[in-house]
Structure 1
Amino acid sequence: MDFNPVILSIPLYFTLIGFELIYQLVKKVKVYRTNDAISNISCGISSQVTNALWGVLSIAMYQYIYEYWSIATIPNAWWSYLLLFLLVDLMYYWFHRASHEINFLWNTAHVVHHQSEDYNLSVALRQASFGGAFAMVFYLPLALLGFNTYAFLTVKGINLIYQFWIHTEAIEKLPRWFEYVFNTPSHHRVHHGRNPKYIDKNHAGTLMIWDRMFGTFQQEEEKPTYGVTKPTNTWNPVWANVVPIVDMTNQVKATPGFWNKLKVLFYKPGWQPIELGGYQMAPEVDKQTYRKFDVHPHMPMIRYVFVQFVLVLSFTAYFLFTSGNYDVYTKLTMAGFIMWSIAQLGILMENRKNWIPMEFIRLVATAALIVFLIESAMAITFAGGFMLLFGIWFYFASRKTK
């Protein structure tokens, strides 16, 4: 496995989620919804799996510029890591801000992260599948300056790990000096709010000084309403990534004039020409009528999906930690199975009866994959038992699906 601090921190992420679940029990507050949390983590799975396939190309691009185009060679010293930390955070700020203010980047690289209507640590894992590819472009100047690839990946990983803990409502306000300098849960709650005053504010990764310097800072006042102005309304993580791109493509097709079509792509989300109504401001949230998307199946199906999700999550962790051991075809097979599984489980959480036969097919595919990867007589026995056990369980769980 290539060095990746984010992947190495997976056990830490789920430990902190466990603490937040304990907080939910102790305080008797509704922090997590099973359907939303599974969808959030599934989007994280999708992001990490796709990154395992083409992330190496982004790293290779950085390494190429560092080797052949860098104007200096910066040594590994405490001061260089400190400088790199500041520059990585600054580049992150501008990528993050651009991902909110350029429609193309918003729909391809970032909107997925904002789709959840809850705010908890699982939301931190909800990332777009294509975000990493676009983000690297903003970091390439660091290679040109002469920061080596290993140092960059280390500092960038630390920057992303920091941002995990700020996705919580369990922490209110921290000391004033800390709130002034650093990004905190309070500041980042604002960033996830769909209230008009909160939209496109607080883009910081680690240091809040960038938002204060560049005029995008907003203090948390009333509690935000989370999510996006056009709710995605799906638990399917694959469709959650695709539907914003489909909507943007349809908007481009419906917009008259070549230059207007380009403006749809590169102006702020909500822009349209005057003849179609002009720029659409985000509406105020009517808290009296607002309802979260919350479709879910009956409890037997929820239990089944949860167990299958844990198995897929475990298989994904295994894939991420061992992906360097496989040829490209095996990688694609494993990645395709993971993506199919999280999409299928998301659809089952939407209580869609017409997709029930597909789960039986997926169980057969799971058994086949076990035999393919292990290649032994014991694997055949295990795969057969797996398919029989979960096939029977799913049959009874699906009988009440409407």
Structure 2
Amino acid sequence: MDFNPVILSIPLYFTLIGFELIYQLVKKVKVYRTNDAISNISCGISSQVTNALWGVLSIAMYQYVYEHWSFTTIPNAWWSYILLFLLVDLMYYWFHRSSHEINFLWNTAHVVHHQSEDYNLSVALRQASFGGAFAMVFYLPLALMGFNTYAFLIVKGLNLIYQFWIHTEAIDKLPRWFEYVFNTPSHHRVHHGRNPKYIDKNHAGTLMIWDRMFGSFQAEEEKPTYGVTKPTNTWNPVWANVLPIVDMTNQFKATPGFWNKLKVLFYKPGWQPVELGGYQMAPEVNKKTYQKFDVHPHIPMIRYVFMQFILAIGFTSLFLFTHSNYALTVKLTMAGFIMWSIAQLGILMENRKSWIPIEYVRLIASGVLIVFMIGGTLSYGIAGAFLLLFGFWFYSASRRTE
């Protein structure tokens, strides 16, 4: 039950990102922005950490339905895995499509993935922290059919891994037969476009045949403008998850009438009653005036944030591979520190100087955590060296200007 192909593929993800960075250097094109890429991967960290805490409940839900309500038991045979692959992909299509067409799901489970205004492999890692909690409901019919939990998790994980490589502009259109059957970078670029003709198109996970069957296919024509119609304008991954929910809550409160409030939750994003202006269509993108959100601090601070971000990735990897060994209080402490760290680094990238003192507090908390995790005299020395080194580095970075 603990086997997770997605987590085990983390080294592959970063290897492919490295190749895309090489592509950027060779082709002399701007594929990555440091602030955006850190924000994307930080959202992925947030998603994996929260999933480690309550993902087991989703798996338990599937297992319970399989054990108590399944109509039959599907054997572990080659044909059953092929059938399961097709069904998982079909269920993913409907969850993904629903996450675009139901406002509640869009704002809680999916909009985070579309917030980046760039398109590269780091965007694949940008996932909502609450998405997994809702997705499992769409897969429960597979448990009723009798597909065991282990087989389901393997196939679902492989389905998600496939979707990583399609988040790139480095690959143009592939052979026609492949484009017709499978999801490709070209098809998925359309999906991430905020151009009106591209919105809510190409929801496929692996097989593009579902979009062709259910009328949601759109071929790539002009280059998409990426992002969402209401830009998030933050590098803070925690706020990126919370802001859409806050906006939806405010809309819910401001909408008169019980039935209208329900429609705010379950109709398409952009819906509002006629008395408030009616459904709001996405505007065309004016590429002459359009500018990406690109707030950033001076170079020394960026270097400091990048190094702290690498440490956060390392600590997160430790947490993801070992969290089952810890008591709940330790899990929550580690998860809380990770979330605090990535949020704080995002805030520093926004050049919000009023938050600089908080970073010293976080550094001290880092030292305390080192002592707690390692224990013994050695850990005090490591924590002390850590605080002196990074405290001095941060002090220098926060005082220097470009």
Q: TM-score range by the shorter chain?
A: over 0.9
CA contact (8 A) 1:351 1:401 kept: no
Are the equivalent residues in 2 in contact too, given 1:353–1:401 (CA < 8 A)?
no
In the other structure, the counterpart of 1:315 is: 315
Which residue in 2 is equivalent to 1:291? 291
Q: What is the DSSP-based 3-state SS (H/G/I as helix, E as strand, rest coil) of the residue aligned with 2:118?
A: coil
Once residues 369 and 11 of structure 1 are traced to their aligned partners in structure 2, the CA distance between those partners, rounded to angstroms, is 25
Cα separation, 2, equivalents of 1:2 and 1:348: 35
Aligned to 2:182: 182
Alignment match, 1:197: 197
Question: Residue deviations 1:236-260, cap 9 Å, x none?
Answer: 0000000000000000001000100
Runs of 4+ with deviation above 4 angstroms: none
Using the alignment, how far apart are the partners of 1:329 and 1:142 within structure 2?
34
Deviations 1:184-219, CA, capped at 9 Å, x for gaps: 000000000000000000000000000000000000
1:144 maps to amino acid: L
Q: Which residue of 2 aligns with 1:226?
A: 226
Matches within 5 A, 1:194-273: 194-273=194-273
Superposed CA deviations along residues 67-110 of structure 1, whole A, max 9, x for unmatched, are: 11100000000000000000000000000000000000000000
| Paired residues for 1:2-401 under 5 Å | 2-400=2-400
One-letter amino acid of the structure 1 residue matched with residue 32 of structure 2 = Y
The CA distance in 2 between the partners of 1:390 and 1:146, in whole Å, is 54
CA distance in 2, matches of 1:401, 1:283: 39
The 8 Å contact of residues 39 and 346 in structure 1, kept in 2 or not, is answered as: yes
**Secondary structure of the structure 2 residue equivalent to 1:156:** helix
Q: Which runs of 5+ in 1 are unaligned?
A: none
CA distance in 2, matches of 1:401, 1:342: 23
The residue matched to 1:49 in structure 2 has which SS? helix
C-alpha distance in structure 2 between counterparts of 1:297 and 1:160, whole Å: 34
Residue by residue, what CA displacement relative to the aligned partner does 1:35-58 show, whole Å, maximum 9, x if unpaired? 000000000000000000000000
Deviation at 1:376, TM superposition (A): 1.1
Q: Secondary structure at the match of 1:29?
A: coil
Q: Give the CA deviation at 1:2.
A: 1.5
CA distance in 2, matches of 1:227, 1:400: 33
Counterpart CA distance in 2 for 1:376 and 1:129 is 35
| Distance across 1 between alignment mates of 2:301 and 2:177 | 48
Q: Distance in 1 between the 2:2 and 2:332 partners?
A: 17
Q: Take 1:179 and 1:365, find their aligned partners in 2: how far apart are those partners?
A: 50
| Distance in 2 between residues matched to 1:379 and 1:69, nearest whole Å | 51
Structure 2 residue identity aligned to 1:192: H
> Quick one: distance in 2 between partners of 1:67 and 1:163?
30
Give the number of aligned pairs.
402
SS at structure 1 position matched to 2:395: helix
Query: 1:231-282 deviations in whole A, cap 9, x for unaligned?
Result: 0000000000000000000000010001000000000000000000100000
Corresponding residue SS for 1:126: coil
Instruction: Using the TM superposition, give the Cα deviation of residue 400 of structure 1 relative to its aligned residue in structure 2, in angstroms.
Output: 3.4
| Distance across 2 between alignment mates of 1:401 and 1:93 | 49
Return the alpha-carbon distance in structure 2 between the equivalents of residues 401 and 382 of structure 1: 30
Distance in 1 of aligned mates of 2:10 and 2:343: 21
**Structure 2 length as normaliser, TM-score?**
0.99
CA distance, structure 2, for counterparts of residue 47 and residue 2 of structure 1: 17
Counterpart residue identity of residue 326, structure 1: Y
Distance 1:400 1:129 in 2: 35
User: In structure 2, what is the Cα distance between the partners aligned to 1:19 and 1:359?
Assistant: 33
Residue 299 of structure 1 and its aligned partner are, at CA, apart by 0.2
Deviation at 1:401, TM superposition (A): 6.4
Distance 1:98 1:62 in 2: 20
Q: CA RMSD in A?
A: 0.8
In 1, Cα distance between the equivalents of 2:324 and 2:18?
30
